[in-house]
Amino acid sequence: MRRIKIVIVLSTSLILSGVFWISAISSQLSAVSSQKSKVSKRIELLGVRSKKNNVNSQSSILPPEARLARSGNPQSCSFFKWFDPNTNDEEGKRLLKNCSSCHLNYYEEWINDKHSMSQNNPFFLSIYSGKSGKASIYPGFKLDHPDQNGNCALCHNPEAILPGRDVPMGLYDVDLRETSSLNTNGISCDFCHKIESIDQNPLKKGVSGLNIFRDCKGLRDVRFGPIKDPVQIAPDKEELKYNSLYKTSLVCAKCHDGSNGNVQIYSTFTEWLDSPAAKRGVQCQTCHMAPREEANVIVDNPKIKHKKRPYYEVHSHSFLTEDPHEFRKKFVDLSIRAGLNSASAEHETLTVTCTVSNNNPGHSFPTSSPMRNAVLVVEAKDKNGNDLKLIHGPRLPNYAGDLKNKPGRLFAKILEETSGEYARQHGEGGIKFRKAMRDLGIPAQDWWNVFVLSDTRIKANSNDVSVYEFDVRAGLKPTPTEITAKLIWRNTWPGLAKIKGVKIQEDVLLEKKLPINP
């Protein structure tokens, strides 16, 4: 009975925070029960205890007062200051209080990675604020909820949520538009290496589900990592500890899974949990933090105390690698085959079969935010470059933007609003946007009351096969044709990028051509 009461309180706080709406407590409790079982499976699978991980130290245990500085404790340090990863802080240079002072290669990888931009990405802020320049343009969380700040900061700006101030509601009450929020370091080095353990409660997402170890002023700093024998560079100021958590996918889980009520919106960790990779014990870090084979040091400042290490202990911090295109491309494949069919002496068709393979053993393609989508575009042309008529086969929907109605497949998770009741509560602008969004090819936003209308993404180590039939008869003679198939990854919906005035990121992963000579 006590557990049920706790869940109801948490659900209420999520409703008040403005991001998670719960349509019915009973359905939420059912979802929680299901998620709880997955968490238990997750812990058993990984062999890691969430509440207390294997943490070693070469130094003595910190004083009890230092352990008050945790994310879930309202009495956290008033004087805590996050490390600035950058080198432009003079005090940081002088006192080696910047990550880049010792780890320049790691810093350069991080600064060019999306984790360093999570709090100030212009497109993300436009979706949050509803602003494009000075104009208010839907969609926007703050346009729907001008008096609420929402939960976005739980993952996008943990440093703003945990600034070291004695504010019990500080975990949630963060306006991401404010200067104090923008002048943080996103998912910084210091933040990630302060994670001591994971809270098993599936309702606690982002930083609210992480036990963050922060020292109080005047006490020795602590950081965790996957190295069992860390070199203690300044033991009077900083203690480096081994933590087995950092060798598991659990360290990624709280920000790569997320729900709106009982609807799972972000599911990368859950996808991994049910994947062939997880069954083989392959963690997220295996692909996203692969060893740098040419490196043999973690500290690359020769003036700083360090030791040479085997290459497999020196991991990349470019989570999509230095070439995201090649990284995405290596996990997918595309094949096409075709054959002519004589329906009659005066009618002939061309049947084209396209197979898109997701060779990634860890999660679906595409994954992450529901904005991420991919399209397969199939073209069949005659010798004069004219499109052949599609007789049978799938066409791309409005969500494909300028490619709509072309032969092909959309790979995406599509959200749909449950009813117009939520819209009627949030102004005339929101209602007008909903009327236009279908024509624009924009699905429902993840903070609305939504359900998953469809999910056509390709699961880990799976294929998608689509078949197209084209008319190829011109008069009484077959016409030479060429078939082209393209697989394109997109960071968002073309219609959404258009109304927000941002350039869509398109990545043509694969293109295959097949000539047909009857």
- pLDDT at res. 422: 67
pLDDT band of residue 227 (cuts 50, 70, 90) is very high
- pLDDT at res. 426: 67
- pLDDT at res. 477: 59
pLDDT band of residue 141 (cuts 50, 70, 90) is very high
User: DSSP string spanning 342-410?
Assistant: EEETTEEEEEEEEEEEE--SSS-BS-SSTT-EEEEEEEEE-TTSPBPEEEES-B--GGGGGGTTSBEEE
Pick the range with the lowest mean pLDDT from 6-15, 151-160, 194-203: 6-15
End-to-end CA distance of the chain: 73
pLDDT at residue 161 greater than cutoff 90: no
pLDDT at residue 70 greater than cutoff 50: no
The percent of residues in the chain predicted with pLDDT above 70, rounded, is 76
- pLDDT at res. 468: 98
Per-residue model confidence as pLDDT tens digits over 369-419: 999 999 999 999 988 888 999 999 999 999 999 999 999 999 999 999 987
Instruction: Spell out the domains of the chain, with CATH numbers in brackets.
Output: 2-313 (no CATH), 332-412+456-516 (2.60.40.3880)
Mean pLDDT of the chain: 81
Half-sphere exposure of 125 (CA within 13 A, CB side): 18
- pLDDT at res. 159: 85
Pick the range with the lowest mean pLDDT from 121-135, 200-214, 416-430: 416-430
pLDDT band of residue 36 (cuts 50, 70, 90) is very low
- pLDDT at res. 164: 52
User: What is the torsional sign of CA 130, 502, 395, 485?
Assistant: negative
Closest CA to 187 of 124, 144, 248: 124
Per-residue model confidence as pLDDT tens digits over 311-369: 899 999 999 888 999 999 999 999 999 998 876 556 788 999 999 999 999 999 999 89
pLDDT band of residue 117 (cuts 50, 70, 90) is very high
Mean predicted confidence (pLDDT) in 251-266: 94
Pick the range with the lowest mean pLDDT from 18-32, 50-64, 216-230, 278-292: 18-32
